[in-house]
């Protein structure tokens, strides 16, 4: 007998999600709060959680603090190991890396361990959080009330995601006899036995994950649509993995059951292969056979959503000022910027001062998914909001702030930051600005990719270039080859901040396009000494701008 996730979570005072995430990080295959784990694993987790609280450091490993990523060079400085020794060690571990290559966190962990370090990821600086919530105060337990679950429908193309979303919306319209005028605002709510459920109208894991990448997790439960006549397909697997990595429980809708060649058991068998064990086969994955086209068995699916949501104990504080996620936004000719917001917490009211991404404003009017004007909107409710100064991006966070002035100030700060980031992203090397980049310490090495019509030129350039290195700048030929300048050369240059020099060869059309987009400096010459001369002058700030 194992232990249910939610029981253990309760014991450890963790949320189901936190616990599931911890287990997944350990490589344990769990998907929902109803999953069971064996006692050994439970003990391990308890040690981890409780041990952490007591602040016990189990071993005497040295700690390597990492903020974001680290290059091989930075790592060598940090752990005081000679770069070439470090690179040899990396090769021994199967990691081919150049000195300026950024190591992934997995690679860092492995190589640091070799030298007796444990990696500790540092929180990014506060400034990076500029786009997060300003007033992210914790709610008091007594203020928390249950809220509707937010659902995203995922699955392979053509398995019936859109049909299912439409069918569910329709059940509601007839049931509420609202006259059938539904607004497509990017999300909608239905009521099942008096309980509300919110559906995001953009199906698929791409939207789900792009929102997550921006720090906005809107979804509480994923509905995985699998066509009974087609089974698990590549995007089904992707959807499973995306939902799992977000720690979101999955309910499977086995769709197209009306088709004569429907094979629900085959679908279940395939689900097992991906770690989702159907409930009726002893697991904890709820599978509901439906026909979205005929509207069959949707009640059951909706009921299962309500049940799963109850287990998740989703709560929010309706009394606080609202925050939410932009689901959709556009510029409407008559109404100005219009954004659909999914309220995450609090209650949004007409008249509230708001910021959303780079935009600010005041809620002038709100319209719900039935097309009705509303004065306020509570947790998990989708509403269209009018009154923003600009069109925010989907996935931006919206927040109510004190007054118009603070809304404007925050938006302004964010705009400045965005501009700075954009500028700093443009510091790719080019010969024109090389000198000033060197002066500002932005460039410590000049990487060069050389392409020529004959091998002899490549060799000759390599020799001459190396002699140009100074104390401040190391000149390095990253790659040299015979032939025209290709897209791959440009991508290499872009990735390693290099310039490209060509002798009697030219870039192709695609290479030129990519170079323009990536800001890669390509120089073509007929004679070697002229190229060397240019690089030398550029390093000394004497390059003739008329080149
Ligand atoms: P999506 O790409 O996942 O959004 O799939 P769609 O909802 O666009 O559906 C793809 C096709 O499958 C359409 O032709 C639908 O009419 C059809 N379809 C969807 N659900 C069912 C169903 O339950 N039964 C049958 N027979 N066809 C369905």
* Residue 495 in contact with ligand 1 by CB distance below 6 A: no
* Residue 301 in contact with ligand 1 by CB distance below 6 A: no
* Residue 259 in contact with ligand 1 by CB distance below 6 A: yes
* Residue 255 in contact with ligand 1 by CB distance below 6 A: yes
Record the tokens describing residue 79, joined without a space.
């752990």
The pLDDT, as a whole number, for residue 208 is 77
Binding annotation for GTP: 155-162, 201-205, 255-258
Query: Which of 334, 319, 326, 333 lies closest to 384 in space, CA to CA?
Result: 326
Binding annotation: 155-162, 201-205, 255-258
Task: Report the nearest atom of ligand 1 relative to the CA of 292.
Answer: 23
Ligand 1 center–CA 158 separation, angstroms: 6
Residue pair 242/209 in contact (Cβ under 8 Å)? The answer is yes
Task: Report the nearest atom of ligand 1 relative to the CA of 294.
Answer: 23
The pLDDT, as a whole number, for residue 182 is 61
Question: Tens digit of pLDDT per residue, the chain (547 long)?
Answer: 678 888 888 888 888 888 888 888 888 888 788 788 888 888 888 888 876 555 444 456 688 888 777 888 888 988 888 888 888 888 888 888 888 888 888 888 888 888 888 888 775 544 456 777 777 778 888 999 999 999 999 999 999 999 999 999 887 654 444 455 566 888 999 999 889 999 998 887 777 776 776 667 889 999 999 999 999 998 898 888 888 877 899 999 999 999 999 999 999 999 999 889 999 998 999 999 999 999 999 999 999 999 999 998 999 999 999 999 999 999 888 889 999 999 999 999 999 999 999 999 999 999 999 889 999 999 999 999 999 999 998 888 999 999 999 999 999 998 888 777 656 555 567 777 777 777 777 677 788 888 888 888 888 888 888 888 887 788 888 778 888 888 878 877 877 778 899 998 989 888 898 888 888 899 999 888 888 888 888 888 766 554 4
d(CA 341, CA 398): 8
C-alpha distances in angstroms, 391 versus 327, 329, 338, 388, 405?
12, 6, 7, 7, 19
Ligand 1 center–CA 293 separation, angstroms: 7
d(CA 98, CA 120): 23
* Residue 235 in contact with ligand 1 by CB distance below 6 A: no
The pLDDT, as a whole number, for residue 55 is 47
Ligand 1 center–CA 155 separation, angstroms: 12
Q: Which residue's CA is the closest to the ligand 1 atom numbered 18?
A: 160
Ligand 1 center–CA 233 separation, angstroms: 15
Task: Report the nearest atom of ligand 1 relative to the CA of 157.
Answer: 2
Spell out the residues 6+ positions from residue 485 whose beta carbon is closer than 8 angstroms to its own.
451, 500, 502, 505, 506, 507, 508, 511, 522
For residue 200, the surrounding DSSP H or E stretch is: strand 195-200
CA atoms within 13 A on the CB side of 272: 12
* Residue 166 in contact with ligand 1 by CB distance below 6 A: no
The pLDDT, as a whole number, for residue 207 is 72
* Residue 291 in contact with ligand 1 by CB distance below 6 A: yes
Angle between helix 205-213 and helix 234-245 axes, rounded to 10 deg = 30
Ligand 1 center–CA 173 separation, angstroms: 21
Which of 155, 158, 160 for a ligand 1 pocket mutation test, highest count of atoms within 8 Å of Cβ? 160
Residue pair 424/474 in contact (Cβ under 8 Å)? The answer is no
Record the tokens describing residue 475, joined without a space.
């000149």
Ligand 1 center–CA 193 separation, angstroms: 27
Q: What is the value of ipTM here, to two decimals?
A: 0.99
d(CA 227, CA 246): 24
Record the tokens describing residue 272, joined without a space.
């097992």
* Residue 437 in contact with ligand 1 by CB distance below 6 A: no
Beta strands in 247-356 (DSSP E): 250-255, 286-289, 315-316, 323-332, 336-345, 348-349, 353-356
Angle between helix 509-518 and helix 487-495 axes, rounded to 10 deg = 20
The pLDDT, as a whole number, for residue 299 is 94
Strand pairing report for 474-482 and 498-503: unpaired
Burial 370-382 (b: 16+ CB within 10 A, else e): beeebebbbbbbb
d(CA 37, CA 43): 10
C-alpha distances in angstroms, 224 versus 278, 389, 535?
13, 37, 57
d(CA 66, CA 109): 10
Ligand 1 center–CA 262 separation, angstroms: 13
* Residue 205 in contact with ligand 1 by CB distance below 6 A: no
Instruction: Report how far Cα 107 is from the mean position of its chain's Cα atoms.
Output: 20
The pLDDT, as a whole number, for residue 125 is 47
C-alpha distances in angstroms, 185 versus 161, 170, 399, 415, 488?
17, 15, 19, 27, 43
Q: For Cα atoms 463, 468, 470, give the angle at the middle one, nearest 5 degrees.
A: 135
Enter the DSSP assignment of 205.
Answer: H
For residue 379, the cross-strand partners are none
* Residue 158 in contact with ligand 1 by CB distance below 6 A: yes
Query: Which of 282, 266, 197, 184 lies closest to 233 in space, CA to CA?
Result: 266
Q: Which residue's CA is the closest to the ligand 1 atom numbered 22?
A: 256
Task: Report the nearest atom of ligand 1 relative to the CA of 203.
Answer: 4
The three-state DSSP-derived secondary structure of 387-452 is EECCCCCCCCEEEEECCHHHHHHHHHHHHHHHHHHHHHHCCCCCCCCHHHHHHCCCCCEEEEEEEE
Which of 223, 234, 293 for a ligand 1 pocket mutation test, highest count of atoms within 8 Å of Cβ? 293
d(CA 284, CA 67): 38
Residue pair 333/149 in contact (Cβ under 8 Å)? The answer is no
398 backbone dihedrals φ, ψ, rounded to 5° = -110, 145
């Amino acid at each position: 007998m194992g232990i249910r996730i939610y029981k253990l979570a309760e014991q450890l005072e963790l949320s189901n999600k936190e616990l599931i995430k911890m287990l997944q990080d350990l490589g344990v295959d769990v998907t929902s709060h109803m999953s069971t784990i064996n006692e050994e694993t439970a003990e391990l987790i308890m040690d981890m959680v409780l041990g952490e609280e007591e602040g016990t450091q189990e071993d005497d490993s040295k700690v390597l603090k990492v903020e974001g990523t680290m290059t091989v060079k930075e790592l060598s400085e940090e752990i005081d190991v000679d770069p070439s020794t470090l690179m040899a060690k990396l090769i021994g571990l199967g990691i081919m890396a150049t000195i300026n290559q950024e190591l992934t966190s997995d690679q860092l962990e492995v190589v640091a361990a070799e030298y007796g370090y444990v990696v500790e990821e540092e929180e990014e600086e506060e400034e990076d959080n500029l786009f997060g919530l300003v007033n992210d105060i914790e709610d008091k337990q007594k203020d928390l009330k249950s809220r509707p679950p937010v659902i995203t429908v995922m699955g392979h193309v053509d398995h019936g995601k859109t049909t299912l979303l439409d069918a569910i919306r329709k059940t509601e319209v007839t049931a509420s006899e609202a006259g059938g005028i539904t607004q497509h605002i990017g999300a909608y709510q239905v009521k099942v036995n008096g309980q509300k459920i919110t559906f995001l109208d953009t199906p698929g894991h791409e939207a789900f994950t792009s929102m997550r990448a921006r720090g906005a997790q809107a979804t509480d439960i994923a509905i995985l649509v699998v066509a009974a006549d087609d089974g698990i397909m590549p995007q089904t697997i992707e959807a499973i993995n995306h939902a799992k990595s977000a720690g979101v429980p999955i309910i499977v809708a086995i769709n197209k059951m009306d088709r004569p060649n429907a094979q629900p058991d085959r679908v279940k068998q395939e689900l097992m292969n991906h770690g989702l064990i159907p409930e009726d086969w002893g697991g904890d994955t709820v599978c509901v056979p439906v026909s979205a086209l005929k509207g069959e068995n949707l009640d059951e699916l909706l009921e299962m959503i309500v049940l799963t949501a109850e287990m998740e104990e989703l709560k929010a504080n309706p009394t606080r000022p609202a925050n939410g996620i932009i689901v959709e936004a556009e510029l409407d000719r008559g109404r100005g910027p219009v954004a659909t917001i999914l309220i995450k917490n609090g209650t949004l009211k007409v008249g509230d001062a708001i910021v959303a991404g780079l935009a600010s404003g005041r809620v002038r009017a709100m319209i719900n998914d039935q097309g009705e004007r509303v004065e306020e909107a509570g947790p998990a409710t989708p509403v269209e909001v009018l009154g923003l100064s600009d069109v925010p991006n989907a996935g931006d966070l919206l927040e109510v702030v004190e007054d118009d002035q603070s809304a404007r100030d925050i938006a302004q700060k964010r705009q400045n930051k965005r501009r700075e980031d954009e500028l700093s992203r443009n510091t790719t090397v080019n010969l024109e600005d090389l000198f000033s980049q060197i002066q500002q310490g932005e460039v410590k090495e000049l990487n060069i990719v050389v392409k020529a019509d004959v091998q002899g030129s490549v060799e000759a350039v390599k020799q001459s270039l190396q002699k140009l290195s100074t104390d401040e700048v190391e000149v390095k030929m990253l790659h040299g080859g015979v032939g025209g300048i290709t897209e791959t050369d440009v991508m290499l240059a872009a990735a390693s901040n290099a310039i490209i020099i060509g002798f009697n060869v030219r870039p192709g059309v695609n290479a030129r396009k990519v170079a323009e987009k990536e800001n890669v400096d390509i120089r073509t010459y007929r004679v070697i000494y002229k190229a060397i001369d240019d690089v030398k002058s550029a390093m000394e700030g004497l390059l003739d701008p008329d080149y």
